Structure 1
């Protein structure tokens, strides 16, 4: 049973369509990411859900009740903004208490719930500080506590980790996911960062040009992309131009391949860099059944892996090798191999 339901949402600004017929069902306690590039409509969708923007068409339901035209302050949504939007003149405690005060809760109840919320986000002892006296990660925790203290029906996170440095983002991803699971709170998380979407949510809705291109589990989205856009946007992938001969066989870089490609028009084969291996030309491929050859142009050390750029008859591709593995010297001729089932065919887009 869906707890949160978006049905046919559309938002237009004059002749421009920002969100076009978005429908989504979210179960109670589920965390769903709206993932996509800037301008795809994900934040507009979130703001319609929060009541900050009114849709031109469509319907929003929470726990069976329609809230499409309900004012924002009556929706009981917890919203964590990208900028955190903390009140600079208020203490941490007053920032967290704001939503409860607006609801007219008794002072004793407010004090107790604020204390519990600050403990939940590990900010005990900082209640009397001002936002300017906090680090970015601490400010993010205050914004999260303020959103959670009202016991919202739905938690909305709008690019809420984008202002943090890489290491702190990694820490906060796990902390927020742990809190979300422990509370069992239904959550919608807007992000353009695929790592955040893959690690923090039960399902991902990939948005493109105002529509949902695909929705599924993180594994489904990554391993079984439904469209070329999803394959290109989520994770990294090499696009190898393919050709189909008169006998129906598929060739890549001039070599016949055991690849099934249902499309009849011009198409490319997408392969994840980490699914490829590099071998000497004379070495058998083993269980790998697809193979192209080329010359190593460059090796780039990236920390936990080395990116090997290989150029061949059909262009260039990148292979990821684990750090510490023997890396082929630049200029050497090599074979690049992978399993046929790791080949993803998608129609070539018109130039």
Structure 2
């Protein structure tokens, strides 16, 4: 049995099923992200785990013991809220030590552990400040220290980086991951940010319509999405309407492609923009490569890469090239080339 087990969790709000039969196993010291769009059930799942919401059905086990109906304060789980939920009238030290005070820990021990926690998040010397005197990143660290100081069995992060600006968010992602690894603390965090999920965790559980669509390593989720939803939600991908010829081979923009098609039904080919190369039409390529031709509509510089839009017979393909790459002229006829292994066919969705 894994250190943390969620089995068949379900939560309904009137006629809406927020979480539907969610099961998840987490090993001790592992970091797992619950990734998905708003309304997919990820925060409700986290709140059931924390004891803030009662499940209608299912079970939660921690280190072999069932905690499904155990009150939140008896689960020894640290929860970092999206809003941080700091007490504005208390100092940083009192905010961090609040959970220890509630547990009746001796004053000298509280002072020692608060100092340790503040040092861990690089806030030593700010213990007497009020939250309003701190930056957003510092407030986030106080909230993290408050959760870590109780030495939780599990650390829960609920969109806790969403209020930070992009540069600070990137810094905090790496700091939290470093702390998590150094402490070996079992961690679950909710996010709709794919970069957070891909960089901060050992595994990702992609949630959709109250359930888990796929769970796996960041590489598995990105490179081998199990469903059309996962392919569309994680990263960027072109969804290209394709057909079969009389012999069952895939046809895109009038070109026969060396890739297997689904046995039946209409389908689209998914290919990520950064996996495509742009070549002159006259340049030969291996027969095993995917190759179509089209006309360049526009090129847009976006900093670390350039987005090129190419139009074909019945759709458009977006390509991402590294900055500094020689760009094709708008209106130019070009060949688009990529590996068959980077092509994923999924059934076409109907309205």
CA contact (8 A) 1:243 1:252 kept: yes
Which whole-Å CA distance do the structure 1 matches of 2:184 and 2:288 have between them? Answer: 43
Contact 1:288-1:337 within 8 A present in 2 as well: no
Q: CA deviation at 1:331?
A: 1.1
SS at 1:2 equivalent? coil
| 2:174 equivalent in structure 1 | 174
Task: After TM superposition, give the deviation of residue 262 of structure 1 in Å.
Answer: 3.0
Higher mean C-alpha displacement, 75-84 vs 261-270: 261-270
Asked if the contact 2:59/2:66 (under 8 Å) is kept, the reply is: yes
Q: Distance in 1 between matches of 2:343 and 2:275?
A: 10
Structure 2: distance between partners of 1:84 and 1:52:
16
Question: Equivalent residue of 1:128, what SS?
Answer: coil
TM-score between the two structures when normalised by the length of structure 1:
0.99
SS of equivalent to 2:198? helix
| Residue in structure 2 matched with residue 189 of structure 1 by the alignment | 189
CA-to-partner distance for each residue in 1:110-152, whole Å, 9 max, x for gaps? 0000000000000011000000000000000000000000000
- 1:26 corresponds to 2:26: yes
- 8 A Cα contact 1:84 1:160, kept in partner: yes
Q: What are structure 2's unaligned runs of at least 5 residues?
A: none
CA offsets, 1:1-39, max 9 Å, x none?
A: 410000000000011100000000000000000000000
TM-score by length of 2: 0.99
Could you list the runs of 5+ residues in structure 1 that have no partner in the other structure?
none
Distance 2:137 2:35 in 1: 22
Are the counterparts in 1 of residues 249 and 261 from structure 2 also a CA contact under 8 Å? no
1:230 equivalent in structure 2: 230
- Residues in 1 aligned to 2:298 and 2:162: alpha-carbon distance in whole angstroms: 32
**Residue of structure 2 in register with 1:6 after alignment:** 6
Give the Cα separation in 1 of the matches to 2:285 and 2:272.
18
The count of residues paired between Structure 1 and Structure 2 equals 351
Please say if residues 92 and 127 of structure 1, whose CA atoms lie closer than 8 Å, have aligned partners that are also in contact.
Answer: yes
**How far, CA to CA, are the matches of 2:288 and 2:154 in structure 1?**
46
Moved over 4 A (4+): none
What displacement does 1:286 show? Answer: 4.6
The Cα offsets for residues 297-347 of structure 1, whole Å up to 9 and x where unpaired, read as 111111111000111102111001010000101111111110111110000
